[in-house]
């Protein structure tokens, strides 16, 4: 059974005239008759009672008609839904974000849902490794995270902005007015560090091998917002990317002095995969956001 056959059947049932139905469907009468005969053969029943003067629906035809109309309406709704997806009128967008990247996203999420109210955002906060696994399984459309030290196979990383690892502290902290800080200067102070697996911690361990054991670490946390709130309300220091404190009042980021102190903010996607228009638009809005704009790259243009 084909949608075309149901369409021919419904139109003929509406006008009860094969010639008129064929004309309105822009097909020949013989084509229309042939398609309806094939439908009758498949259903093993007569749908129309014909004689030389009139055409009427059989009992089976009357029973089939409402179901045929409903099927055609559902098919048209399906086409409309796909068209809506292409035009970004509906659908969903699945985004993965590492904990350290999260604070710069609020502005973009607000702008996106305002512009596209019928696109649902599904956002997962996880470690880089967990997110890349989800991306490979196509459970995510893209991942927002800092550039990994070792590239992931089958995944493309596009740099959005440059960033650095910094010492984060309250604006009232004695070190808040320093231009930069070598590791030795923060050793006497109590520190709250991001947990292993978080990108800032991974970067710190990579940039300063063995340094973690020298720090006076009082707390380890895997939640950036809680970590920043803790630092803002105390004399604790922490080490995160400077972009992490975007829109977080009362905090200062002082660059940490070390070689290769680079944490590029990136969009990660499956290589050679289809890119949803909703994904392109979300990334465009992120690229134009206050948090990213001054350091944005032009790979999308």
Q: Are residues 99 and 214 in the same domain?
A: no
Return the CATH number at 212.
3.40.190.290
Q: Which of 49, 83, 117 is the last residue of a domain?
A: 83
In a shared domain, residues 78 and 227: no
Is residue 83 helix, strand or coil?
A: helix
Range of the domain at 193: 165-257
Length of the chain: 301
- Residue where a domain terminates, one of 34, 62, 83: 83
Closest to 103 measured CA to CA, from 244, 7, 210: 244
| Same domain, yes or no: 102 and 73 | no
Q: Please name the residues in contact with 59: beta carbons below 8 A apart, sequence gap of 6 or more.
A: none
62 with 140, same domain: the answer is no
For residue 106, name the pLDDT band (cuts at 50, 70, 90): confident
Last residue of a domain, which of 49, 64, 83? Answer: 83
| Residue 212 falls inside a structural domain | yes
Give the residues across from 191 on adjacent strands. 217, 237
Q: Is residue 70 assigned to a domain?
A: yes
Angle subtended at Cα 228 by Cα 186 and Cα 239, rounded to the nearest 5 degrees: 35
Residue range 213-259, pLDDT digits in tens: 999 999 999 888 899 999 999 999 999 988 788 778 899 999 988 87
Cα-flanking dihedrals φ and ψ of residue 161, to 5°? Answer: -160, 160
Same domain, 246 and 175: yes
Mean per-residue pLDDT, 118-139: 91
Looking at the DSSP bridge assignments, the partners of residue 268 are: 143, 157
Q: Is 301 inside any structural domain?
A: no
Identify whether residues 194 and 175 lie together within a single domain: yes
CA dist., res. 55 & res. 15, Å (int): 9
297, pLDDT greater than 50: no
Residue 138 shares a structural domain with residue 274: yes
- CA-CA-CA-CA dihedral for 209, 207, 269, 121, to nearest 10: 90
Report yes or no: 99 and 198 within 8 Å, Cβ to Cβ.
yes
> Would you state the pLDDT for residue 61?
92
Residue 79 pLDDT greater than 50, yes or no: yes
Say if residue 153 is in the same domain as residue 184. Answer: no
């Amino acid at each position: 059974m084909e949608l075309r056959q149901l369409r021919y059947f419904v139109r003929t049932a509406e006008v009860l005239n094969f010639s008129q139905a064929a004309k309105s469907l822009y097909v020949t009468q013989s084509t229309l008759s042939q398609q309806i005969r094939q439908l009758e053969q498949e259903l093993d029943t007569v749908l129309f009672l014909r004689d030389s003067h009139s055409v009427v629906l059989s009992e089976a035809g009357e029973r089939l008609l409402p179901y045929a109309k409903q099927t055609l309406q559902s098919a048209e709704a399906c086409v409309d839904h796909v068209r809506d997806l292409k035009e970004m009128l509906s659908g969903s967008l699945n985004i993965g974000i590492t904990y350290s990247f999260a604070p710069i996203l609020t502005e973009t999420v607000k702008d996106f849902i305002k512009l596209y109210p019928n696109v649902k955002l599904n956002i997962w906060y996880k470690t880089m490794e967990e997110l890349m696994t989800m991306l490979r399984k196509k459970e995510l459309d893209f991942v927002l995270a800092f550039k990994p030290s070792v590239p992931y196979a089958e995944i493309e990383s596009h740099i959005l902005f440059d960033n650095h690892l910094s010492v984060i502290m309250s604006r009232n902290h004695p070190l808040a007015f320093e231009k930069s800080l070598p590791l030795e200067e923060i050793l006497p102070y109590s520190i709250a560090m991001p947990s292993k697996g978080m990108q800032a911690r991974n970067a710190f361990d990579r940039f300063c091998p063995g340094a973690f054991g020298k720090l006076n670490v009082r707390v380890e946390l895997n939640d950036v917002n809680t970590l920043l709130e803790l630092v803002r309300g105390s004399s604790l220091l922490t080490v995160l990317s400077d972009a992490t404190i975007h829109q977080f009042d009362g905090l200062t980021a002082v660059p940490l002095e070390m070689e290769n102190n680079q944490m590029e903010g990136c969009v990660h996607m499956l290589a050679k995969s289809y890119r949803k228009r909703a994904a392109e638009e979300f990334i465009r809005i992120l690229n134009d956001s206050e948090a990213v704009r001054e350091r944005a790259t032009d790979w999308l243009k």
